[in-house]
Amino acid sequence: MISDKENSVDPTVQTIVEMFPEDFLRNTARETGVVERERKIDVVILFWVTTLGFGVRFLSAIRGLKRKYEEKAKTTLSISSFYDRFTPEMVDFLRKCVLHAIEFQAQQTGRVLDDKLKRFNDLVIQDSTIIRLHESLAKIWPAARTKKIAAGVKVSCIVSAVADSPKSVRIYPERTSEAKILRLGPWLRDRILLIDLGYFKYLFFDRIDGYGGYFVSRLKGNANPLIVGVNRKCRGNSVDVVGKKLRDVLPRLKREILDVEVEVEFKRRKYKGKQSTVKRRFRMVCAFNSESGKYHTYLTNIRVDILSAEEIALLYGARWEIELIFKELKSHYRMDQIQSANPDIVKCLIWVAILTLMCSRRILRLIRNANPENANRYTHLRWAKVFTEQADRLLTEVLECMGLKLDMLTIYDIYLGQGCDPNVERERLMERWVS
């Protein structure tokens, strides 16, 4: 008699197969033209071999992917026929799989924002990273700020703290300015956007506020707004700051925190041939950093009664979360190790790295939910290491998920045990803000 455990599907397998069911993969492949008639190539096997193969480093080249595909599909292919699968249609297929995964994750129960942030729908972080490519692609994707022949693309991400995964991913030529990458809209309502200095623009802040959204940004070094009000008064003979420019005040400050209202001036976009100059008020927080001996200055539209000046500074520190995602993509999922000179293969493998990340985060959510008291100890980079170590086994289980296994929960148990950081006291970036 076969036990229930033997009949069951590993929870880690089930959770990612639910995100990418076979019907979805086959239908999307047909819609995008990846396959017209399935002959030697099975798109479902190809999808999982690339996502759980190349993306986790145990297959280092297209030839390795081909061999793994042949092993799992029990067939043989010429290298040219396998290469020929990496087409613009395959790029579109993988991109749509990423979009599907993002939507799927957004519909699941995510992490919970801290009580301080409970009035907001989400905390999102915007940034981009450069992927250096084979120099033969320099004519298609020329690198920026270099005298050498080099090629590169810019991968832009918006990361959701609640979903704990990307909310949006786009690929641009490296020379695309950050101003053209940031896409603002009604989706920002009741969300906090943490912005890198590369996106600093008063016009953007005005538009975010207009959409009912919130932002926190570092202040550019050359910005010199006029101080028009004080949110926190200091005792004693403090410097009078109202009516003065920031750069005139900072050298004379002795306090650890300066929390003020500032007025900035900027030009809006042209409308019917006319361009208006606008003045806006924002909140500015200057927090003294004892290590650097300098003030870190932030601009925001979050009111004083919602977050204190100290909390604004701490919240911006959570922006480092997106840097960890880029590190995870590059260090564990091979996003910056694409050596191909074929632009379609390059784009395919970038999307594959994102898909690997989405699968990893999907399983991480499962494991955290299974061990809620230690959820924050399943840190992203430690988790990525454990995930990649077990990816080959996971691939086998995914492709055989309808079969019977004697040790079906082994992978689940490994993830549950090894993914948890043993350091109980270590601080985690998002621990203060989400649970």
CA distances from 434 to 126, 161, 188, 222, 428 (A): 18, 8, 19, 34, 10
Work out the average pLDDT over 377-384. 90
What CA–CA distance (Å, rounded) separates 158 from 26? 28
Tell me whether residue 292 is in a domain. Answer: yes
What CA–CA distance (Å, rounded) separates 430 from 314? 10
The type of residue at 430 is M
- Kindly report the average pLDDT of the chain as a whole number: 85
When divided into structural domains, the chain yields a total of 2
Highest mean pLDDT among 5-14, 102-111, 140-149, 349-358: 349-358
Q: Which of 235, 268, 300 is the last residue of a domain?
A: 300
Residue 23 and residue 90 in one domain: yes
Tell me whether residue 83 is in a domain. Answer: yes
CB 103 within 8 A of CB 169: no
Q: Which of 283, 300, 317 is the last residue of a domain?
A: 300
Tell me whether residue 390 is in a domain. Answer: yes
pTM (two decimals): 0.84
In the prediction, which pLDDT does 39 show?
Answer: 64
Tokens of 247: 């750069």
Over 60: is that where the pLDDT of 60 sits?
Answer: no
Tell me whether residue 71 is in a domain. Answer: yes
In the prediction, which pLDDT does 148 show?
Answer: 79
In the prediction, which pLDDT does 200 show?
Answer: 92
Residue 293 and residue 347 in one domain: no
What CA–CA distance (Å, rounded) separates 200 from 178? 9
Helices (H), 108-228: 178-181, 202-210
Work out the average pLDDT over 274-287. 90
Residue 15 and residue 94 in one domain: yes
φ/ψ of residue 134, rounded to 5: -60, 135
Read off the pLDDT of residues 168-215 as tens digits, 9 standing for 90 and up. Answer: 999 999 999 888 888 899 999 999 999 988 889 999 999 999 999 999
Tell me whether residue 397 is in a domain. Answer: yes
Residue 22 and residue 85 in one domain: yes
Residue position matching structure tokens 């919240």: 315
Over 80: is that where the pLDDT of 101 sits?
Answer: yes
Tell me whether residue 152 is in a domain. Answer: no
**Banded pLDDT at 400 (limits 50, 70, 90):** confident
Residue 17 and residue 96 in one domain: yes
What CA–CA distance (Å, rounded) separates 188 from 208? 7
Tell me whether residue 413 is in a domain. Answer: yes
CB 55 within 8 A of CB 361: no
Which of 6-15, 84-93, 396-405 shows the lowest per-residue confidence on average (mean pLDDT)? 396-405
At 434 the three-state DSSP class reads strand
Tell me what percent of the residues of the chain surpass a pLDDT of 90.
Answer: 49
End-to-end CA distance of the chain: 42
Domain of residue 25 covers 11-101+341-419
Residue 296 and residue 356 in one domain: no
Over 80: is that where the pLDDT of 274 sits?
Answer: no
**Banded pLDDT at 408 (limits 50, 70, 90):** very low
Tell me whether residue 383 is in a domain. Answer: yes
Q: How many other C-beta atoms can be found within 10 angstroms of the C-beta atom of residue 242?
A: 12
What CA–CA distance (Å, rounded) separates 263 from 317? 25
More confident residue, 283 or 49: 283
In the prediction, which pLDDT does 109 show?
Answer: 78
What CA–CA distance (Å, rounded) separates 137 from 174? 12
Residue 275 and residue 356 in one domain: no
